[in-house]
Structure 1
Amino acid sequence: MIKELEEKILRMLEGEKKRREIALKFLDELGNLLQMVGEDLDNNGDRMFKGTINFTIIPKVYYRYEKHVGKDAVEETGFYFSEDGYPVWGEPLEDIKGEDFWYALKVIIENIPKLVHKLEKEEKVRDKIVSLINLKENA
């Protein structure tokens, strides 16, 4: 009986390890993409928290696309989980285990369509501005 339980637990842990590896690879690839468009997606409006893309309010799940240097610490680029709701000094998502990790991943995936929509909207606004500039130059 104990041997069966041990085998099931080991299989479960091995499966969790593989799922986590896939999830972390996905986050790494997504982070590389967000790095390129971070300024277009920054949604803080607060200079103190500049350099982040927020996914939730509390707990805060955010992506830092610019390194943040504080008085005694540095927060590098990457995904973070913060229970206090501030997009600074969170726990790196790769260090989070269990339910909080999978919650954060779910929130990030659910927000991808919103990020795409925001980028498309930004692109339309910029195209409109350029067309107005072209109209003025050709007038």
Structure 2
Amino acid sequence: MKSKGKTANYKPAEDREKDLKLAIYRLQKGRAHSKETKVSIAAVAREAGVSTALIHNHYPAVAEAIREIQGRSSRAVRDVKHQDLIAERQKSAAYRQEVDELKAKLASIASINEVLLEANHTLKAKLRDRNVVELAAANKRS
């Protein structure tokens, strides 16, 4: 005689998939036997009397259908992340361009500053020389 251990819950894959789809349908219609109210992989698993791992590992199409119902299908999430990546790359390119422009302005301002510092130094030197001459001229007159 065979024992009714693990093999008692065994169902063919097609039957198990139908059970999972019916569980999803019951959850969507608010007729769940498990009193679940939201469609999730865990809720479907409880409703169908299986583990979440079974859904993830053996019924990826069912898992994807559940994610689509939740509004977060793998494709949709991937597409949103791809669009976000494109937007961030555009922002990054704009920031790099702005940095380059600011570096060019800074170089120009630094150059102007050097010219002004040199002119200031020259004027101070002329002013010092002029004061010495004026003092010498004033001393000669007295």
Report the TM range for the smaller structure's normalisation. 0.3 to 0.5
Which structure is larger by alpha-carbon Rg, 1 or 2?
A: 2
- Where is the strand percentage greater, Structure 1 or Structure 2? 1
Higher RCO (CA-CA < 8 Å; seq separation 6+): 1
TM-score (norm 1): 0.33
